[in-house]
Structure 1
Amino acid sequence: MLVLILLIVSAYLLGSVSGSLTLGRLRGVDIRTQGSGNAGGTNAFRTQGAKFALGVVVIDIGKGALAAWLALRFAPTDGPLPVRAVAWLAVTAAAVGHVWPLWHGFRGGKGVGTLLGGVAVLWPIALLPLFLVWVCVLVGSGYVGLASIIAAACLLPLAVWLRAEASTQIFAAAAALLVLFTHRVNLQRLRAGTESRFERVRFWRRRA
Protein backbone atom coordinates (compact mmCIF):
# COMPACT_ATOMS: atom_id res chain seq x y z
CA MET A 1 0.00 0.00 0.00
CA LEU A 2 2.87 2.40 0.74
CA VAL A 3 4.31 1.87 -2.74
CA LEU A 4 0.87 2.48 -4.25
CA ILE A 5 0.48 5.77 -2.37
CA LEU A 6 3.98 6.89 -3.33
CA LEU A 7 3.31 6.14 -7.00
CA ILE A 8 0.06 8.11 -7.02
CA VAL A 9 1.52 11.08 -5.16
CA SER A 10 4.59 11.06 -7.42
CA ALA A 11 2.34 10.98 -10.48
CA TYR A 12 0.41 13.99 -9.20
CA LEU A 13 3.62 15.93 -8.54
CA LEU A 14 4.91 14.97 -11.97
CA GLY A 15 1.65 16.13 -13.53
CA SER A 16 2.00 19.43 -11.70
CA VAL A 17 4.99 20.28 -13.90
CA SER A 18 3.05 22.27 -16.51
CA GLY A 19 4.74 22.46 -19.89
CA SER A 20 3.35 25.86 -20.80
CA LEU A 21 4.01 27.44 -17.42
CA THR A 22 7.50 25.98 -17.06
CA LEU A 23 8.56 27.04 -20.55
CA GLY A 24 6.74 30.31 -20.08
CA ARG A 25 8.88 31.15 -17.07
CA LEU A 26 11.97 30.69 -19.20
CA ARG A 27 10.49 33.15 -21.68
CA GLY A 28 9.23 35.50 -18.99
CA VAL A 29 5.53 35.06 -19.77
CA ASP A 30 2.54 33.49 -18.08
CA ILE A 31 0.13 32.36 -20.78
CA ARG A 32 -2.67 32.26 -18.20
CA THR A 33 -2.71 36.05 -18.65
CA GLN A 34 -2.97 35.79 -22.44
CA GLY A 35 -5.47 34.48 -24.96
CA SER A 36 -8.06 32.18 -23.41
CA GLY A 37 -6.13 32.13 -20.12
CA ASN A 38 -5.67 28.36 -20.30
CA ALA A 39 -2.26 26.82 -19.60
CA GLY A 40 -2.47 24.30 -22.42
CA GLY A 41 -1.10 23.57 -25.86
CA THR A 42 -3.84 25.31 -27.85
CA ASN A 43 -3.49 28.61 -26.02
CA ALA A 44 0.29 28.25 -26.17
CA PHE A 45 0.07 27.92 -29.95
CA ARG A 46 -2.23 30.91 -30.30
CA THR A 47 -0.21 33.21 -28.06
CA GLN A 48 3.41 32.00 -28.33
CA GLY A 49 3.71 30.22 -31.66
CA ALA A 50 4.24 26.71 -32.99
CA LYS A 51 7.70 25.99 -31.56
CA PHE A 52 6.67 26.95 -28.04
CA ALA A 53 3.46 24.93 -28.35
CA LEU A 54 5.39 21.89 -29.57
CA GLY A 55 7.56 21.98 -26.44
CA VAL A 56 4.44 22.28 -24.30
CA VAL A 57 2.79 19.29 -25.97
CA VAL A 58 5.93 17.14 -25.64
CA ILE A 59 6.16 17.87 -21.91
CA ASP A 60 2.47 17.38 -21.21
CA ILE A 61 2.17 14.12 -23.15
CA GLY A 62 5.51 12.93 -21.81
CA LYS A 63 4.56 13.27 -18.16
CA GLY A 64 1.43 11.16 -18.69
CA ALA A 65 3.50 8.51 -20.43
CA LEU A 66 6.15 8.64 -17.72
CA ALA A 67 3.57 8.29 -14.94
CA ALA A 68 2.19 5.18 -16.63
CA TRP A 69 5.65 3.69 -17.19
CA LEU A 70 6.74 4.27 -13.59
CA ALA A 71 3.61 2.56 -12.31
CA LEU A 72 4.13 -0.42 -14.62
CA ARG A 73 7.76 -0.62 -13.51
CA PHE A 74 7.37 -0.24 -9.76
CA ALA A 75 3.83 -1.28 -8.80
CA PRO A 76 4.01 -4.57 -6.86
CA THR A 77 2.47 -7.55 -8.61
CA ASP A 78 1.14 -8.82 -5.27
CA GLY A 79 -0.34 -5.49 -4.22
CA PRO A 80 -3.98 -4.67 -3.46
CA LEU A 81 -4.65 -3.65 -7.08
CA PRO A 82 -3.59 -5.09 -10.44
CA VAL A 83 -0.54 -3.37 -11.91
CA ARG A 84 -2.49 -1.92 -14.85
CA ALA A 85 -5.10 -0.52 -12.48
CA VAL A 86 -2.32 1.22 -10.55
CA ALA A 87 -0.95 2.57 -13.83
CA TRP A 88 -4.33 4.01 -14.81
CA LEU A 89 -4.62 5.61 -11.38
CA ALA A 90 -1.18 7.14 -11.87
CA VAL A 91 -2.17 8.57 -15.26
CA THR A 92 -5.33 10.02 -13.73
CA ALA A 93 -3.31 11.53 -10.88
CA ALA A 94 -0.90 13.09 -13.38
CA ALA A 95 -3.83 14.59 -15.29
CA VAL A 96 -5.28 15.96 -12.04
CA GLY A 97 -1.86 17.46 -11.32
CA HIS A 98 -1.87 19.08 -14.76
CA VAL A 99 -5.30 20.61 -14.17
CA TRP A 100 -4.59 21.63 -10.57
CA PRO A 101 -0.77 21.92 -10.40
CA LEU A 102 0.79 22.23 -6.96
CA TRP A 103 3.76 24.17 -8.37
CA HIS A 104 1.61 26.75 -10.18
CA GLY A 105 -1.08 27.82 -7.73
CA PHE A 106 -3.50 25.03 -8.71
CA ARG A 107 -4.30 26.77 -12.03
CA GLY A 108 -3.24 24.60 -14.93
CA GLY A 109 -4.44 23.21 -18.24
CA LYS A 110 -7.18 20.83 -19.27
CA GLY A 111 -5.41 17.48 -19.02
CA VAL A 112 -5.96 16.13 -22.54
CA GLY A 113 -2.28 15.80 -23.45
CA THR A 114 -1.39 14.12 -20.17
CA LEU A 115 -4.24 11.63 -20.52
CA LEU A 116 -3.12 10.97 -24.09
CA GLY A 117 0.39 10.15 -22.91
CA GLY A 118 -0.96 7.56 -20.52
CA VAL A 119 -3.16 6.01 -23.21
CA ALA A 120 -0.16 5.82 -25.54
CA VAL A 121 1.65 3.61 -23.03
CA LEU A 122 -1.21 1.54 -21.61
CA TRP A 123 -3.69 1.34 -24.48
CA PRO A 124 -2.00 2.27 -27.76
CA ILE A 125 -4.61 0.53 -29.90
CA ALA A 126 -7.04 3.30 -28.95
CA LEU A 127 -4.87 6.10 -30.34
CA LEU A 128 -5.79 5.80 -34.02
CA PRO A 129 -9.60 5.78 -33.63
CA LEU A 130 -9.44 8.61 -31.09
CA PHE A 131 -7.19 10.62 -33.37
CA LEU A 132 -9.51 10.08 -36.33
CA VAL A 133 -12.50 11.27 -34.31
CA TRP A 134 -10.57 14.31 -33.08
CA VAL A 135 -9.43 15.26 -36.60
CA CYS A 136 -12.88 14.80 -38.14
CA VAL A 137 -14.53 17.03 -35.53
CA LEU A 138 -11.75 19.61 -35.81
CA VAL A 139 -11.83 19.92 -39.60
CA GLY A 140 -15.62 19.91 -39.56
CA SER A 141 -16.10 22.53 -36.86
CA GLY A 142 -12.78 24.30 -36.31
CA TYR A 143 -13.18 23.93 -32.54
CA VAL A 144 -10.28 22.24 -30.73
CA GLY A 145 -12.15 22.03 -27.44
CA LEU A 146 -15.18 20.37 -29.02
CA ALA A 147 -12.92 17.89 -30.81
CA SER A 148 -11.24 17.01 -27.50
CA ILE A 149 -14.57 16.56 -25.71
CA ILE A 150 -16.02 14.27 -28.37
CA ALA A 151 -12.83 12.23 -28.70
CA ALA A 152 -12.72 11.75 -24.92
CA ALA A 153 -16.41 10.79 -24.92
CA CYS A 154 -15.53 7.96 -27.33
CA LEU A 155 -13.14 6.40 -24.81
CA LEU A 156 -15.72 4.41 -22.87
CA PRO A 157 -17.69 3.10 -25.89
CA LEU A 158 -14.38 2.10 -27.46
CA ALA A 159 -13.27 0.32 -24.28
CA VAL A 160 -16.56 -1.57 -24.09
CA TRP A 161 -16.47 -2.47 -27.79
CA LEU A 162 -12.89 -3.74 -27.53
CA ARG A 163 -13.77 -5.59 -24.31
CA ALA A 164 -11.02 -3.89 -22.35
CA GLU A 165 -10.50 -4.89 -18.73
CA ALA A 166 -12.47 -3.18 -15.97
CA SER A 167 -9.66 -0.79 -14.99
CA THR A 168 -9.45 0.54 -18.55
CA GLN A 169 -13.20 1.06 -18.73
CA ILE A 170 -13.22 2.88 -15.39
CA PHE A 171 -10.36 5.09 -16.55
CA ALA A 172 -12.17 5.78 -19.83
CA ALA A 173 -15.26 6.99 -17.98
CA ALA A 174 -13.23 9.08 -15.53
CA ALA A 175 -11.12 10.63 -18.30
CA ALA A 176 -14.22 11.57 -20.33
CA LEU A 177 -15.78 13.25 -17.28
CA LEU A 178 -12.55 15.10 -16.47
CA VAL A 179 -12.21 16.42 -20.03
CA LEU A 180 -15.87 17.46 -20.04
CA PHE A 181 -15.38 19.30 -16.74
CA THR A 182 -12.19 21.07 -17.79
CA HIS A 183 -13.84 22.20 -21.03
CA ARG A 184 -17.02 23.52 -19.39
CA VAL A 185 -16.07 27.11 -20.21
CA ASN A 186 -15.54 26.13 -23.85
CA LEU A 187 -19.05 24.70 -23.90
CA GLN A 188 -20.42 27.92 -22.45
CA ARG A 189 -18.63 29.92 -25.14
CA LEU A 190 -19.92 27.55 -27.83
CA ARG A 191 -23.48 28.16 -26.68
CA ALA A 192 -22.84 31.90 -26.63
CA GLY A 193 -21.18 31.81 -30.07
CA THR A 194 -17.92 33.29 -28.76
CA GLU A 195 -15.64 30.25 -28.84
CA SER A 196 -12.37 30.74 -30.74
CA ARG A 197 -12.18 28.79 -33.98
CA PHE A 198 -9.34 27.64 -36.22
CA GLU A 199 -10.75 28.66 -39.59
CA ARG A 200 -7.69 27.43 -41.47
CA VAL A 201 -8.38 23.79 -40.59
CA ARG A 202 -12.06 23.85 -41.58
CA PHE A 203 -11.58 21.70 -44.67
CA TRP A 204 -15.29 21.10 -45.31
CA ARG A 205 -16.12 24.81 -45.36
CA ARG A 206 -13.23 25.57 -47.70
CA ARG A 207 -14.45 22.86 -50.07
CA ALA A 208 -17.96 24.32 -49.99
Structure 2
Amino acid sequence: MNILLIALFAIAAYLIGSICSAVWIGKAYYGIDIRQHGSGNSGATNTFRVLGKKPGAIVMLIDIFKGWTATSLAGFLVIFNAIEPENLIVFQLIFGAIGVLGHIFPVYENFVGGKGVATLLGMMLAIEPVVALMCIAIFIVVLFTSKYVSLGSIIAALAFPMLLLLVPRFQPENPILIIFGFILFAVVVLTHRKNINRLIAGEESKANIKLGRRR
Protein backbone atom coordinates (compact mmCIF):
# COMPACT_ATOMS: atom_id res chain seq x y z
CA MET A 1 0.00 0.00 0.00
CA ASN A 2 1.41 3.34 -1.12
CA ILE A 3 0.48 5.77 1.68
CA LEU A 4 1.95 8.82 -0.09
CA LEU A 5 -0.03 8.23 -3.28
CA ILE A 6 -3.21 7.58 -1.29
CA ALA A 7 -2.70 10.86 0.61
CA LEU A 8 -2.14 12.81 -2.62
CA PHE A 9 -5.33 11.44 -4.18
CA ALA A 10 -7.25 12.12 -0.97
CA ILE A 11 -6.13 15.76 -1.11
CA ALA A 12 -7.16 15.88 -4.78
CA ALA A 13 -10.62 14.51 -3.86
CA TYR A 14 -11.05 17.24 -1.26
CA LEU A 15 -9.94 20.01 -3.64
CA ILE A 16 -12.31 18.73 -6.32
CA GLY A 17 -15.17 18.63 -3.81
CA SER A 18 -14.30 22.18 -2.71
CA ILE A 19 -15.04 23.66 -6.14
CA CYS A 20 -17.75 26.24 -5.35
CA SER A 21 -19.59 26.39 -8.66
CA ALA A 22 -22.63 28.22 -7.21
CA VAL A 23 -20.52 30.92 -5.58
CA TRP A 24 -18.20 31.37 -8.55
CA ILE A 25 -20.96 31.46 -11.18
CA GLY A 26 -22.96 33.89 -9.07
CA LYS A 27 -20.01 36.26 -8.67
CA ALA A 28 -18.69 35.96 -12.23
CA TYR A 29 -21.94 36.25 -14.19
CA TYR A 30 -24.44 37.89 -11.82
CA GLY A 31 -22.26 39.98 -9.52
CA ILE A 32 -23.70 38.46 -6.34
CA ASP A 33 -22.63 36.07 -3.63
CA ILE A 34 -25.28 33.34 -3.64
CA ARG A 35 -24.71 32.85 0.10
CA GLN A 36 -26.16 36.30 0.78
CA HIS A 37 -29.46 35.54 -0.94
CA GLY A 38 -32.28 33.05 -0.62
CA SER A 39 -31.53 30.37 1.94
CA GLY A 40 -27.90 31.48 2.17
CA ASN A 41 -26.78 28.09 0.90
CA SER A 42 -24.26 27.66 -1.92
CA GLY A 43 -25.84 24.57 -3.41
CA ALA A 44 -27.86 23.87 -6.53
CA THR A 45 -31.26 24.34 -4.85
CA ASN A 46 -30.54 27.90 -3.79
CA THR A 47 -29.00 28.60 -7.20
CA PHE A 48 -32.28 27.56 -8.85
CA ARG A 49 -34.14 29.79 -6.41
CA VAL A 50 -31.94 32.89 -6.76
CA LEU A 51 -30.38 32.73 -10.24
CA GLY A 52 -32.82 30.61 -12.22
CA LYS A 53 -33.10 27.30 -14.03
CA LYS A 54 -30.07 27.47 -16.34
CA PRO A 55 -27.40 28.36 -13.74
CA GLY A 56 -29.13 26.04 -11.28
CA ALA A 57 -28.90 23.13 -13.71
CA ILE A 58 -25.25 23.92 -14.45
CA VAL A 59 -24.38 24.03 -10.74
CA MET A 60 -26.22 20.78 -10.10
CA LEU A 61 -24.39 18.97 -12.91
CA ILE A 62 -21.02 20.30 -11.73
CA ASP A 63 -21.73 19.24 -8.16
CA ILE A 64 -22.76 15.75 -9.28
CA PHE A 65 -19.66 15.47 -11.44
CA LYS A 66 -17.50 16.55 -8.49
CA GLY A 67 -18.75 13.65 -6.41
CA TRP A 68 -18.37 11.18 -9.26
CA THR A 69 -14.83 12.36 -10.03
CA ALA A 70 -13.65 12.36 -6.40
CA THR A 71 -14.99 8.83 -5.93
CA SER A 72 -13.54 7.57 -9.20
CA LEU A 73 -10.04 8.66 -8.20
CA ALA A 74 -9.86 5.44 -6.17
CA GLY A 75 -9.62 3.50 -9.43
CA PHE A 76 -6.24 5.06 -10.13
CA LEU A 77 -4.91 3.59 -6.90
CA VAL A 78 -5.59 0.13 -8.32
CA ILE A 79 -4.02 1.06 -11.67
CA PHE A 80 -0.87 2.33 -9.92
CA ASN A 81 -0.82 -0.73 -7.60
CA ALA A 82 -1.17 1.52 -4.54
CA ILE A 83 -4.00 -0.69 -3.16
CA GLU A 84 -5.31 -4.20 -3.76
CA PRO A 85 -8.35 -4.46 -6.09
CA GLU A 86 -10.48 -5.97 -3.29
CA ASN A 87 -10.02 -2.73 -1.32
CA LEU A 88 -11.37 -0.55 -4.14
CA ILE A 89 -14.86 -0.12 -2.66
CA VAL A 90 -13.40 1.04 0.66
CA PHE A 91 -11.33 3.76 -0.98
CA GLN A 92 -14.21 4.76 -3.26
CA LEU A 93 -16.24 5.42 -0.14
CA ILE A 94 -13.40 7.27 1.55
CA PHE A 95 -12.62 9.49 -1.44
CA GLY A 96 -16.30 10.10 -2.17
CA ALA A 97 -16.91 11.14 1.45
CA ILE A 98 -13.88 13.44 1.30
CA GLY A 99 -15.34 15.03 -1.83
CA VAL A 100 -18.70 15.57 -0.07
CA LEU A 101 -16.93 17.11 2.93
CA GLY A 102 -15.04 19.35 0.51
CA HIS A 103 -18.37 20.59 -0.84
CA ILE A 104 -19.72 21.24 2.65
CA PHE A 105 -16.45 22.79 3.92
CA PRO A 106 -14.67 24.21 0.82
CA VAL A 107 -11.16 25.50 1.38
CA TYR A 108 -11.59 28.05 -1.43
CA GLU A 109 -14.47 29.85 0.29
CA ASN A 110 -13.53 29.93 4.00
CA PHE A 111 -15.04 26.47 4.57
CA VAL A 112 -18.61 27.72 4.00
CA GLY A 113 -20.27 25.55 1.37
CA GLY A 114 -23.44 23.70 0.46
CA LYS A 115 -25.26 20.70 1.89
CA GLY A 116 -23.60 18.10 -0.32
CA VAL A 117 -26.66 16.30 -1.68
CA ALA A 118 -25.77 16.61 -5.39
CA THR A 119 -22.14 15.73 -4.65
CA LEU A 120 -23.33 12.74 -2.64
CA LEU A 121 -25.45 11.71 -5.61
CA GLY A 122 -22.37 11.81 -7.84
CA MET A 123 -20.55 9.62 -5.34
CA MET A 124 -23.37 7.05 -5.38
CA LEU A 125 -23.54 7.11 -9.18
CA ALA A 126 -19.86 6.15 -9.28
CA ILE A 127 -20.34 3.25 -6.87
CA GLU A 128 -23.89 1.92 -7.46
CA PRO A 129 -25.34 3.66 -10.52
CA VAL A 130 -28.57 1.61 -10.73
CA VAL A 131 -29.48 2.17 -7.07
CA ALA A 132 -28.50 5.84 -7.38
CA LEU A 133 -30.82 6.27 -10.37
CA MET A 134 -33.64 4.69 -8.35
CA CYS A 135 -32.95 7.22 -5.59
CA ILE A 136 -33.19 10.01 -8.16
CA ALA A 137 -36.61 8.65 -9.18
CA ILE A 138 -37.68 8.60 -5.52
CA PHE A 139 -36.49 12.18 -5.09
CA ILE A 140 -38.49 13.31 -8.12
CA VAL A 141 -41.67 11.56 -6.89
CA VAL A 142 -41.36 13.13 -3.42
CA LEU A 143 -40.54 16.53 -4.90
CA PHE A 144 -43.53 16.61 -7.25
CA THR A 145 -45.81 15.19 -4.56
CA SER A 146 -44.79 17.41 -1.66
CA LYS A 147 -43.05 20.33 -3.43
CA TYR A 148 -40.30 20.12 -0.77
CA VAL A 149 -36.74 19.78 -2.12
CA SER A 150 -35.36 19.15 1.36
CA LEU A 151 -37.82 16.32 2.06
CA GLY A 152 -37.02 14.71 -1.28
CA SER A 153 -33.30 14.92 -0.56
CA ILE A 154 -33.64 13.34 2.88
CA ILE A 155 -35.88 10.49 1.74
CA ALA A 156 -33.69 9.78 -1.30
CA ALA A 157 -30.60 9.68 0.92
CA LEU A 158 -32.30 7.16 3.20
CA ALA A 159 -33.50 5.10 0.23
CA PHE A 160 -29.93 4.34 -0.87
CA PRO A 161 -28.85 2.19 2.13
CA MET A 162 -32.37 0.80 2.54
CA LEU A 163 -32.43 -0.50 -1.04
CA LEU A 164 -29.02 -2.10 -0.53
CA LEU A 165 -30.21 -3.65 2.72
CA LEU A 166 -33.66 -4.89 1.74
CA VAL A 167 -33.51 -5.71 -1.99
CA PRO A 168 -31.58 -8.98 -2.57
CA ARG A 169 -30.57 -7.96 -6.08
CA PHE A 170 -28.70 -4.91 -4.79
CA GLN A 171 -27.17 -6.38 -1.64
CA PRO A 172 -23.40 -5.80 -1.86
CA GLU A 173 -20.79 -8.42 -0.99
CA ASN A 174 -19.16 -5.95 1.37
CA PRO A 175 -21.61 -4.71 4.05
CA ILE A 176 -19.48 -1.61 4.58
CA LEU A 177 -21.37 0.03 1.70
CA ILE A 178 -24.65 -0.30 3.62
CA ILE A 179 -23.09 1.01 6.82
CA PHE A 180 -21.55 3.92 4.94
CA GLY A 181 -24.90 4.64 3.30
CA PHE A 182 -26.53 5.13 6.68
CA ILE A 183 -23.64 7.32 7.82
CA LEU A 184 -24.04 9.54 4.77
CA PHE A 185 -27.80 9.67 5.38
CA ALA A 186 -26.99 10.97 8.87
CA VAL A 187 -24.78 13.64 7.28
CA VAL A 188 -27.66 14.70 5.02
CA VAL A 189 -29.99 14.93 8.03
CA LEU A 190 -27.39 16.96 9.91
CA THR A 191 -26.93 19.44 7.07
CA HIS A 192 -30.71 19.72 6.67
CA ARG A 193 -31.54 20.15 10.37
CA LYS A 194 -32.88 23.70 9.80
CA ASN A 195 -35.04 22.44 6.95
CA ILE A 196 -36.36 19.64 9.17
CA ASN A 197 -37.31 22.14 11.85
CA ARG A 198 -39.12 24.26 9.25
CA LEU A 199 -40.89 21.17 7.87
CA ILE A 200 -42.12 20.27 11.35
CA ALA A 201 -43.26 23.85 11.93
CA GLY A 202 -44.91 24.01 8.50
CA GLU A 203 -42.66 26.89 7.46
CA GLU A 204 -40.49 25.22 4.81
CA SER A 205 -40.60 26.91 1.40
CA LYS A 206 -42.11 24.88 -1.42
CA ALA A 207 -40.47 24.59 -4.83
CA ASN A 208 -42.19 26.39 -7.65
CA ILE A 209 -42.64 23.51 -10.10
CA LYS A 210 -44.39 24.26 -13.36
CA LEU A 211 -45.13 21.58 -15.90
CA GLY A 212 -45.48 22.61 -19.49
CA ARG A 213 -48.80 22.04 -21.27
CA ARG A 214 -49.21 20.60 -24.71
CA ARG A 215 -50.81 22.86 -27.21
TM-score (norm 2): 0.87
Deviation at 1:180, TM superposition (A): 0.7
* SS of the residue 1:200 aligns to: coil
Deviation at 1:10, TM superposition (A): 1.5
Match of 2:180 among 171, 186, 193: 171
Matched letter for residue 96 of structure 2: V
Match of 2:63 among 44, 60, 63: 60
**For residues 55 and 7 of structure 2, what CA distance do their matches in structure 1 show?**
34
**For residues 178 and 35 of structure 1, what CA distance do their matches in structure 2 show?**
22
**For residues 152 and 67 of structure 1, what CA distance do their matches in structure 2 show?**
19
Matched letter for residue 79 of structure 1: I
Matched letter for residue 163 of structure 1: Q
State the partner residue of 2:27.
25
Match of 2:83 among 75, 79, 83: 79
Which 5+ residue runs of structure 2 have no aligned equivalent? none
Deviations 1:102-151, CA, capped at 9 Å, x for gaps: 11111111101111111112111112321221122112211000100011
State the number of aligned residues.
202
**For residues 43 and 54 of structure 2, what CA distance do their matches in structure 1 show?**
14
TM-score (norm 1): 0.90
Deviations 1:6-60, CA, capped at 9 Å, x for gaps: 2222111111111101212212211110001111111101100111111111211
Percentage of matched positions with identical amino acids: 36
Retained in 2: the 8 A contact 1:72–1:84?
A: no
**For residues 210 and 199 of structure 2, what CA distance do their matches in structure 1 show?**
18
Deviation at 1:171, TM superposition (A): 2.4
Which has the higher mean CA deviation after the structures are superposed, 191-200 or 30-39? 191-200
Post-superposition, which runs of at least 4 consecutive aligned residues in structure 1 deviate over 4 A?
75-78
| TM-align CA RMSD | 1.9
Answering whether residue 46 of structure 2 is matched by residue 43 of structure 1, we say yes
The 5 Å alignment of 1:1-208 reads 1-27=3-29, 28-75=31-78, 77=81, 79=83, 82-161=87-166, 162-164=170-172, 165-200=174-209
TM-aligned CA distance change 1:126 to 1:87, over 3 Å: same
* SS of the residue 1:178 aligns to: helix
